Structures are given as structure tokens and as C-alpha cells.
Amino acid sequence: MTEIIAQPLTADAFAPFGDVIALRGAPDKIINQGLCGRHHDLARLEFGTDGRAGISLFDAEPRRLPYRLDMMERHPEGSQAFIPMTQAPFLVIVAPDDGGRPGTPRAFLTAPGQAINYHRGTWHGVLTPLSAPGLFAVVDRIGPGENLEEFWFDTPYTVVPT
């Protein structure tokens, strides 16, 4: 199986696929009588013309590295954000589109305090925590119709740590 080496997640590397939601420098605005910094509008969310935003909680089983990647998916009708409810790193796997199927996947390990938002239609691996509890707030589209497309690889990949 082809190996993919997981890299530290950076906003630049992830930009073609989505947004890294994290503190970056000074807040955009100081609020709450000076006791809170607002870091404003950090992700491009989309829910389609007939959908709406929803917040759900995902309680996922932790996985281990090396990780067998045999399927990727995408949501053609909306974006999907994963906001960890712990400080634990998790695995993020994305791929460019290659004629309607995932191209070569890329894997990232988050740092504590990083959350992510997959842009609408981005190929990604399913939520992959690496420790328990795998508890995440998820902001994605609630609406009619099918919003999940899966692609199963004939030959799985193996994701390994740096």
C-alpha cells in the first residue's frame, strides 16, 4: 500500500481544501468590556440554496497510526467544520478532485487549538480522532437531498506519522 506521511497542519497548505480555524495574532475586535478578543469570520461556510446551518456533536472512536485509508467522501451541497471539544490532535486527510474521484491524498496532524472547515465539495477522510474522547462540534448543512458522495479505493493508502 502507498504510504502518506502526515504533516503538521498549516493554513497555507490546507487553503486549497478548506480553512484552519485557530487564533492567529491579534483579535479583530476587543469586546465584552475589554475582556474578550473576537477573532472574526475565520471560515467559508456554505449550505446551498435549500439548506441551513446545523450544529451537531460527533463522538467518534479514536484511530491509530498507521491508519488505513480506504475511503474518502465529499459533500457537494455544503461545507463541513470540525471543532474539537478537547485539545488533542486529530488526523485530517484531504485530496484534490481528479475527474470526479479523489486525487493523491494529503494527511495533516492538527495542533492543539486548531479546528478545520472543509470547503463545499472537498474530498476528505471521515472524522479521525487519535485519542479518546473523540468529541467534536460539527457545523454542516442540514437540508434535503443527498449530500454525501463516497469513493472507495481499490488499493488503500496507509497514513504514517512524520
Ligand X SMILES: NC(=O)N[C@@H](O)C(=O)O
List residues binding ligand X (CB under 6 A): 73, 80, 124, 126-127, 148
| Smaller CB separation from ligand X, 80 or 117 | 80
Q: Interface residues for Ni ion in 70-89 (CB under 5 A)? A: 80
Task: State in angstroms the smallest separation of the CB of 64 from Ni ion.
Answer: 21
CB neighbour class for 133 (10 Å; exposed up to 12, middle 13-18, buried from 19): middle
Amino acid at 154: D
Q: 131: which 3 cell numbers?
A: 485519542
Under 8 Å between Cβ of 118 and 76: no
Task: State in angstroms the smallest separation of the CB of 26 from ligand X.
Answer: 32
Residue 107 touches which of ligand X, Ni ion, none (Cβ within 5-8 Å per kind): none
| Smaller CB separation from Ni ion, 27 or 76 | 76
Task: State in angstroms the smallest separation of the CB of 23 from ligand X.
Answer: 24
| Smaller CB separation from Ni ion, 80 or 128 | 80
Residue 122 touches which of Ni ion, ligand X, none (Cβ within 5-8 Å per kind): none
- Rounded-to-integer distance, Cα 11 and Cα 127, Å: 19
| Smaller CB separation from ligand X, 50 or 61 | 61
Helix (H) / strand (E) containing 115: strand 115-118
Task: State in angstroms the smallest separation of the CB of 122 from Ni ion.
Answer: 9
Q: 55: which 3 cell numbers?
A: 450544529
Q: For strand 7-8 and strand 106-109, is the pairing parallel, antiparallel, or unpaired?
A: parallel
- Rounded-to-integer distance, Cα 145 and Cα 76, Å: 11
Which residues form the interface with Ni ion (CB under 5 A)? 80
